[in-house]
Each structure stands twice: as structure tokens, then as C-alpha cells.
């Protein structure tokens, strides 16, 4: 049965711990609060699909990576920093994949050094050349995988499309002969094919991706041992939306895998590489309402979190469920009423609005009537939330707390002023 999402607009607690208490105990707001149970649940649901690899870029806190690791999940890294995070979380290099369209100096140093043995998933033929040149004789016998751009992508957002002739990602499907030749030149073998297109719940489109994968893998040859469908598994951000039918998703890919296994006469490992699906729902960004303004007919809730803490609404016009947690210090409310409010942040930037649609159009949200001092919780903030935080306006990175079995634990301290300016020379 397909699960339906349901988000509430009033809450007292997160994973059994009072919101007011969390704010009081962890240095106030804004505060990221993660519910470990959600992460564990999503990992368990993915297990029957194939080998699961966490795209840590969605949420790279090492405590979160460790939790995911405990669920038997492998990890993907897209930068030197992410490779180092994976190592710090206790992953062995063989359990880490480095996926990128280029090698920067730090990354190539790591994959031939401290992280030697990690899976290098190349998104350009230049990467094969550079790796071969760097390793020289010791490139012989090395197995690499290729991220392929099959010539088409998915989705309408220019910023999130991951395939097609306007995408910078992956090796263009018509240039794989060159990939094979370059690998051969250095004695390396391409043993894996990767396509991160993100069809989501669009199963018709997914069938097209499976078809493209089959064709491409046949062209690459029977030395292919692993195929990866990348990430892009969607989760519902609004109430009433359906969760993805993972069984159907897995069945489509299983068909592709078994066809190729028959043709090649050996088994093929299937990998899925989600970021969002594993962590999105686990996290709540707790902010506090610091001012309530009326600009003509428009009511504004101004909170102490901004796009420096959660950038998705500003970047993509993404919708996040919002709930209000009353501050007990405000005393009881006589009647629960609702209002239409715009929710904005503290930044000196007009785009700092959480209730906006794609293109930057400010919208109103039906929310419980609230008072200054009440908490406003931006929900489903675990994917590309804390991960995309910035220090713009010299805002301090917010602390992160993980709740497991009813116990809250600080997993990142609030950034200090000393840390903020640590690398500045004056």
C-alpha cells in the first residue's frame, strides 16, 4: 500500500521531546532537530531495493553519516571534504564512491592517497586521463565506474535537471567509446555504469531510463559488474501526497538487471543512491517568531532562521510544511485561530522568505495564529537544509541535535564568532 503524507500545523514536541525544552537546552533558535527513527525507517525500506549508498551531500553531519552507516548503507562523496567526512565516520575507502565531473587537486590527492581504493565514478573523460596520468603504472588493474548522461534528463527546474544536452553532468552517451579507450590506455577497467536522472515517481520516464541503461551497459561491455540508478527518490513535501512506490521502482530496475545478467552470464549488483529520501523527513528547523508585522493587508511572521539555514525555498521555490509550537512562556491561548501569513527570515535580502513559489513569488500560508516568542518549525528540512547553510550576513551556522530513543544529543555546536572569522587575516 502506498503511504500518504500528513503534516500538522500545531505541535508541542519533536520525537517526544518538547520544542520549548529543545530550544532552552541547546542555546535557543534556530536549531536543527533530527529524529533518528525516521532515518532508520527509510534505510530499512530501501534495503530490498538493492545496495543502498547514501548521497551524503544532502546531510553531511558525521553523526548522521554514522547512523546511516549503522544501517548497512554505503556512502557517496562529491568532494574531498565529503570523502574525509566518510572516512571520519568510519567508512573504509572501498565503501566510499567519489562521484564528480572533475577532479580538483584535493580530490585527486585523496583518491590516490588516503582514500586509495574508493570507487572513482567519473563524470568526464578528462577525469580518466588525469587519474591515469597521476597513477602511471599503478593505474593498471584499477576499476572505475562512469556516470553517464544518457542524452535526456527529467524535471522542469533548470537548476535540478541532471541529464540532457544542457546538463553539465556525466559523460555524454555518445562518447563512451572514448571512455573505454582512455581506460584501456592506462590499464584500467570500467566496471560500473551510473545514471543519476531522478525520474522520481514518474514510472513511464523511469522505464525510459532503464532502457537507456540497458543500451549503454551493452555498449560498455560484459565487464560491467555494477549499475547505479543514482538518487532522486522523491518524498512528499505537502500533506496528501503519495510516497513513492518503492516496490514498483525496484521491480522495473530488477527487470533491467536480470536481462543484463542473462546476456552477460554473471551477476550484476544494483545500487540506489538516495540523499533526500533517507534524511528529508527526519529534520525540523526550529525557529522563533521574533516579530509580527502587517504591511497593508499582509501579515508577516518574521523568524530568526533565514535562507542561510534553509535555502531551498529561496533557491527553488520549494515548499516546506510549517507548524507552530506554542511557547509556554506566552501563556495559554483562548481559541485556536488560523491566519494567512507570509513567513520571512532575518536577512538583509528581500528573497529571504520561506513561503515563496518558484520564480520568487511571495505567498501566504494558512497557519495557526501565533504570538511573538512562539516557535515556528520548518519541517522536512533534513535534505539540503543544514547542508546548504551559509555564513551570508555573518549568520552563525545553527546547532544540530539528534533525538534517538527519546534522548536528545547535540551533534553540532552553534558556530562561534571565533570560528566564523578563524581564517581571516587582519
Ligand X SMILES: *Cc1c(COP(=O)(O)O)cnc(C)c1O
With CB under 6 A as the rule, give the number of residues binding ligand X: 18
Alpha-carbon distance of 200 to 230, in angstroms, equals 11
> Which residues within the stretch 152-171 sit at the binding site for ligand X (CB under 6 A)?
none
Helix (H, G, I), strand (E, B) or coil at 287: strand
Stretch near ligand X under the rule CB under 6 A, chosen from 63-71, 215-223, 259-267, 271-279: 271-279
Three cell numbers at 99?
Answer: 562521484
Alpha-carbon distance of 153 to 131, in angstroms, equals 28
Provide the CA 411 distance to its chain's centre, in angstroms.
18
> Which residues within the stretch 28-57 sit at the binding site for ligand X (CB under 6 A)?
55, 57
CB of 383 to ligand X, least distance (A): 6
In contact, 31 and 389? CB cutoff 8 Å: no
Stretch near ligand X under the rule CB under 6 A, chosen from 17-25, 229-237, 332-340, 358-366: 229-237
Is position 99 an interface residue for ligand X (rule: CB under 6 A)? yes
CB of 369 to ligand X, least distance (A): 35
- Please tell me what DSSP assigns to residue 289: E
Stretch near ligand X under the rule CB under 6 A, chosen from 42-50, 124-132, 151-159, 224-232: 224-232
Of 7 and 54, nearer to ligand X (C-beta) is 54
- Please tell me what DSSP assigns to residue 6: -
Is position 230 an interface residue for ligand X (rule: CB under 6 A)? yes
Dihedral sign (CA 280, 284, 287, 292): positive
Binds ligand X by CB under 6 A, chosen from 232, 313, 344, 385:
232
CB of 24 to ligand X, least distance (A): 33
Three cell numbers at 338?
Answer: 488560523
Site string for ligand X, 368-397 (x = CB under 6 A): ---------------x--------------
CB of 27 to ligand X, least distance (A): 29
Binds ligand X by CB under 6 A, chosen from 22, 59, 233, 398:
233
**Angle at which helices 105-112 and 125-135 pack, to 10 degrees?**
50
Of 230 and 368, nearer to ligand X (C-beta) is 230
CB of 168 to ligand X, least distance (A): 12
Nearest to 146 by CA among 164, 128, 166: 128
Of 29 and 162, nearer to ligand X (C-beta) is 162
Nearest to 3 by CA among 299, 231, 243: 243
To the query of whether residue 348 is one of the catalytic residues in this protein, the response is yes
Nearest to 235 by CA among 312, 305, 163: 312
Is position 312 an interface residue for ligand X (rule: CB under 6 A)? no
Q: CA 262 → CA 191, 266, 276, 349, distances in Å?
A: 17, 7, 33, 57
CB of 170 to ligand X, least distance (A): 9
**Angle at which helices 62-70 and 80-88 pack, to 10 degrees?**
60
> Which residues within the stretch 179-198 sit at the binding site for ligand X (CB under 6 A)?
196, 198
Of 60 and 346, nearer to ligand X (C-beta) is 60
Which residue in 59, 118, 229, 348 is the catalytic one? 348
CB of 199 to ligand X, least distance (A): 11
What end-to-end distance do the CA atoms of the chain give, in Å? 61
Of 125 and 145, nearer to ligand X (C-beta) is 145
Alpha-carbon distance of 202 to 198, in angstroms, equals 9
Binds ligand X by CB under 6 A, chosen from 35, 82, 214, 273:
273
Of 282 and 323, nearer to ligand X (C-beta) is 282
Is position 276 an interface residue for ligand X (rule: CB under 6 A)? yes
In contact, 389 and 309? CB cutoff 8 Å: yes
Q: Find all residues with CB under 8 Å of 52, minimum gap 6, and list them.
A: 43, 46, 71, 72, 73, 74, 271, 272, 273, 274
Q: Which residues are catalytic?
A: 348
Which residues of this protein are in contact with ligand X, per CB under 6 A?
Answer: 55, 57-58, 76, 78, 99, 196, 198, 230-233, 273-277, 383
Amino acid at each position: 500500500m502506498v503511504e500518504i503524507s500528513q503534516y500538522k500545523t500545531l505541535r508541542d514536541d519533536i520525537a517526544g521531546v518538547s520544542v520549548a525544552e529543545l530550544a532552552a537546552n541547546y542555546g535557543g533558535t534556530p536549531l536543527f532537530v533530527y529524529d533518528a527513527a525516521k532515518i532508520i525507517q527509510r534505510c530499512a525500506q530501501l534495503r530490498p531495493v538493492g545496495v543502498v549508498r547514501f548521497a551524503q551531500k544532502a546531510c553531511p553531519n558525521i553523526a548522521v553519516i554514522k547512523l546511516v552507516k549503522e544501517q548497512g548503507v554505503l556512502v557517496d562523496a562529491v568532494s574531498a571534504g565529503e570523502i574525509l567526512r566518510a572516512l571520519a565516520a568510519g567508512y573504509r575507502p572501498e565503501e566510499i564512491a567519489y562521484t564528480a565531473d572533475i577532479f580538483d587537486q584535493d580530490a585527486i590527492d585523496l583518491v590516490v592517497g588516503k582514500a586509495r581504493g574508493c570507487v572513482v565514478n567519473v563524470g568526464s573523460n578528462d577525469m580518466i586521463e588525469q587519474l591515469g596520468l597521476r597513477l602511471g603504472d599503478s593505474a593498471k588493474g584499477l576499476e572505475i565506474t562512469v556516470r553517464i548522461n544518457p542524452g535526456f534528463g527529467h524535471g522542469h527546474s533548470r537548476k535540478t535537471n541532471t541529464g540532457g544536452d544542457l546538463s553539465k553532468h556525466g559523460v555524454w552517451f555518445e562518447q563512451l567509446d572514448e571512455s573505454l579507450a582512455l581506460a584501456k590506455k592506462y590499464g584500467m577497467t570500467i566496471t560500473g555504469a551510473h545514471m543519476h536522472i531522478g525520474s522520481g515517481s514518474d514510472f513511464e520516464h523511469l522505464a525510459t531510463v532503464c532502457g537507456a541503461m540497458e543500451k549503454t551497459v551493452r555498449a560498455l561491455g560484459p565487464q560491467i559488474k555494477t549499475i547505479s540508478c543514482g538518487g532522486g527518490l522523491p518524498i512528499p513535501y505537502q500533506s496528501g501526497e503519495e510516497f513513492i512506490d518503492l516496490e514498483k521502482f525496484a521491480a522495473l530496475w530488477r527487470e533491467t538487471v536480470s536481462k543484463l545478467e542473462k546476456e552477460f552470464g554473471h551477476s550484476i549488483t544494483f545500487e540506489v543512491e538516495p540523499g533526500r529520501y533517507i534524511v528529508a523527513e527526519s529534520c525540523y528547523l526550529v525557529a522563533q517568531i521574533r516579530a509580527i508585522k502587517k504591511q497593508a493587508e499582509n501579515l508577516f511572521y518574521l523568524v530568526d532562521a533565514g535562507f542561510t539555514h534553509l535555502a531551498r525555498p529561496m533557491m527553488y521555490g520549494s515548499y516546506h510544511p510549517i507548524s507552530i509550537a506554542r511557547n509556554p512562556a506566552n501563556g495559554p491561548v483562548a481559541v485556536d485561530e488560523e491566519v494567512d501569513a507570509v513567513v520571512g527570515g532575518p536577512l538583509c535580502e528581500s528573497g529571504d522568505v520561506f513561503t515563496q513559489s518558484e520564480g520568487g513569488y511571495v505567498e501566504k500560508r494558512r497557519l495557526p495564529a501565533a504570538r511573538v516568542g512562539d516557535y515556528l518549525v520548518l519541517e522536512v528540512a533534513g535534505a539540503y537544509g543544514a547542508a546548504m547553510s551559509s555564513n551570508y550576513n555573518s549568520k552563525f551556522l545553527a546547532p544540530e541535535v539528534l533525538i534517538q530513543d527519546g534522548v536528545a544529543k547535540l551533534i553540532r555546536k552553534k558556530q562561534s564568532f571565533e570560528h566564523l572569522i578563524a581564517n581571516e587575516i587582519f
